[in-house]
Structure 1
């Protein structure tokens, strides 16, 4: 009886897999078992597939058995494939966004967990997800989609103090600003100067030994600000008309604005869980910084708790700074507004439960308040979100850089920086040329590109800005 009726499907049914081994098995049958009955051959081949070690000395089946064993012990390629085509995404102010940021967003839109995305008008290239990128994912969180400075945020305090009081007492405002702020990588308070806050008593600090080791560092840096573009500044905020929600009449008021994040706590958490995600989630090289953690996994849940802890810690830092300076200056607090970026939220988008990553993007759901700063001389804006679903309920988190830090230092002189500060009546304490106003996009251009995303409530003009002395980055 000839064996030509046995085919690849027959071998797949008894335990072989698609691939080179299947082809080799069919060759062996063709050359050696044409005259053996079908059931006998199928039994032999099933035994070889299940127990190849028994056939290593077989005169006909040795090579096939060896290949089956080698294939079983070969390292598996567990790289997760990206989708062949990127999902479409909306870009706001595309003419002002570099191609690198668009390419990064395009890669993010090919992840198998991606549901939707959008690019804000202040976007520029970063690591993994671009700065200004918003990505909605299905049941997955991307540590580098959140970013290194977890929960970085803006906080604004508006006082019933007239502009004239600031002008006439600038030296007092400067003294208090210097006394009550600390900046830069590694900078914190010595033990007897440290502030207290309930966030340091959170149970999350005890969930792993790794998190526990960060508690003392978090305590020392509580109430401090990072390096780079982080700041605490006095300025004048103008309400062109009465805002009924905040209950603030039209007028010009002294205000305090701060920008900083979760300091060493957040940076260390980000680094740890990014490495963990890359070990678990193997993506192609161009997408490796977008490695994600399944929200149903213990690692995903652990990161989620750590991320929220870092975000609340960042909020506590701003609270302490604002409380200290409010007490130092006096006056009645009319409103305090706060929003954060570099974070992930559980939200509903287009009727679907998703994890929304806003890496350098401001939440702008319907009626949600936010602050979008410009630069140390350009105005910032108090805004109210319009809840545009096409933008995934988001807006820009600032003006966005148009020069890298290295480029800014090379191309901007101290004289040019001093001149623009003087022209705008701004007193600067600290900062390097990497944070010069010219290194940033025109905030008015950015705001114009997102009129569909937010309404402007008030305009903030910086007057006295404090930043890290050396323009250093976060530790």
Structure 2
């Protein structure tokens, strides 16, 4: 079997799908989470696992009657969406640079936001609940409106890809933007303050939690679901623009019907049933992979990406990895690689090739093929993609 139990002296087991031993700091983080009294059954680590804050990125944590806001993280609802188009590679001939420029003009990246709010955004049903969110984000509704349909920074990206049959796919990676970050931080602060007042001895302050049935839990759960819905719709808005750009370039703007659509979170929490019990499942850098689920596992901007279908593996809480996983920190990547390395590693991809994206160089990530091999029991590959255009956040 590709997974193995880690040798940890913790009350709950930790099952790892990684092909390598964890480093000391990673082992400590896994042990800390497995030591919490409300963890259900075991903790599952995906093959792309690496250091996070409080909990490892690439961990699936099922809990009974409690939830850890820092384990969900600050980019609530971060995830991926992809569509398979009816177009083929030949139709892109000579159009890649124009498509990239139009994406960059139409979709704000980094800290930027839209200058105007388009109708689908203003009509989103979620705005009706904004007044119920945490009191300290009530001044951010205007910013949240303007950021809906924007990419963000870091490892967020938009890619035009081809599969093994030269079919054109559109793919992007983004989350809940500034509003999700602010909501997360407010609730993480509250959880830490509650732990301090209760003089609770936590293995890590970032594992401060809320107990089900309390007002604090209810407030976090409400804001969490709202931010997850915001993140999903944010991806839909960007994908609609992206699709329009490609349709204008290839089909004179004529709308087309996608052959397959996938939109999945990989930083989130939901209530689910596992091993016959209702639990809260936090996927911190992991994708749900039930037998009915399609998922997206991207490589770096010079490597393959995969559209997958879940196998519903019980011990992984029906989960799989969310990408290749970082091999090194952003700081180390900037020290180790230069622009020549970036140009060489992204050969054949229409993308930025400047110092601003060196921390996202393919060499800073684990080999995606290894990650995929380690989860052959979790997912089956539906399509293997290679990018021809990449726009980074």
TM (normalized to structure 1)?
0.75
SS in 2 for 1:202: helix
Which stretch shows the higher mean deviation, 189-198 or 308-317? Answer: 189-198
Instruction: Tell me how far 1:149 sits from its aligned partner.
Output: 0.4
Which stretch shows the higher mean deviation, 302-311 or 437-446? Answer: 302-311
The residue number in structure 2 matching 1:15 is none
Deviations 1:192-227 (A, max 9, x none): 678434145232433443242221121111100111
Which stretch shows the higher mean deviation, 171-180 or 398-407? Answer: 171-180
- Whether the 8 Å contact between 1:344 and 1:355 is mirrored in structure 2 is yes
Distance 1:426 1:98, change over 3 A: farther
- Whether the 8 Å contact between 2:12 and 2:34 is mirrored in structure 1 is yes
Aligned partner of 1:426 among 349, 359, 371: 349
Aligned partner of 2:212 among 281, 291, 295: 295
Instruction: Tell me how far 1:169 sits from its aligned partner.
Output: 2.0
What is the correspondence of 1:349-428 to structure 2 with a 5 Å cutoff? 349-422=274-347, 425-428=348-351
- Whether the 8 Å contact between 2:89 and 2:167 is mirrored in structure 1 is yes
Name the structure where strand makes up a greater proportion of residues: 2
Q: CA RMSD in A?
A: 1.8
- Whether the 8 Å contact between 2:310 and 2:379 is mirrored in structure 1 is yes
1: distance between equivalents of 2:56 and 2:89?
38
Instruction: Tell me how far 1:179 sits from its aligned partner.
Output: 2.0
2: distance between equivalents of 1:384 and 1:96?
27
The residue number in structure 1 matching 2:253 is none
Instruction: Tell me how far 1:452 sits from its aligned partner.
Output: 0.6
Distance 1:388 1:99, change over 3 A: farther
Deviations 1:293-323 (A, max 9, x none): 0121111011111011111111111111111
1: distance between equivalents of 2:316 and 2:366?
20
SS in 1 for 2:136: helix
Aligned partner of 1:436 among 351, 361, 369: 361
Matched, 1:326 2:240: no
SS in 2 for 1:371: strand
1: distance between equivalents of 2:22 and 2:143?
37
2: distance between equivalents of 1:383 and 1:237?
13
Instruction: Tell me how far 1:366 sits from its aligned partner.
Output: 1.9
The residue number in structure 2 matching 1:213 is 139
Matched, 1:119 2:7: no
Matched, 1:87 2:12: yes
Matched, 1:272 2:186: yes
Instruction: Tell me how far 1:158 sits from its aligned partner.
Output: 1.2
The residue number in structure 2 matching 1:110 is 35
Matched, 1:286 2:203: yes
Which segments of 5 or more consecutive residues in structure 1 lack a partner in the other structure?
1-83, 239-250, 469-475
Matched, 1:341 2:255: no
Which stretch shows the higher mean deviation, 320-329 or 305-314? Answer: 320-329
Instruction: Tell me how far 1:341 sits from its aligned partner.
Output: 1.3
Q: Rg larger in 1 or in 2?
A: 1
Task: Give the structure, 1 or 2, with the largest relative contact order (CA under 8 Å, sep 6 or more).
Answer: 2
1: distance between equivalents of 2:101 and 2:125?
29
- Whether the 8 Å contact between 1:120 and 1:133 is mirrored in structure 2 is yes
Instruction: Tell me how far 1:449 sits from its aligned partner.
Output: 0.5
1: distance between equivalents of 2:48 and 2:189?
28
The residue number in structure 1 matching 2:105 is 179
SS in 1 for 2:143: helix
SS in 2 for 1:432: helix
Which segments of 5 or more consecutive residues in structure 2 lack a partner in the other structure?
1-8, 248-255
Equivalent pairs, count: 370
1: distance between equivalents of 2:101 and 2:116?
23
SS in 1 for 2:122: coil
1: distance between equivalents of 2:19 and 2:60?
15
SS in 2 for 1:127: coil
Deviations 1:61-101 (A, max 9, x none): xxxxxxxxxxxxxxxxxxxxxxx833112100241643422
SS in 2 for 1:136: strand
2: distance between equivalents of 1:152 and 1:192?
22
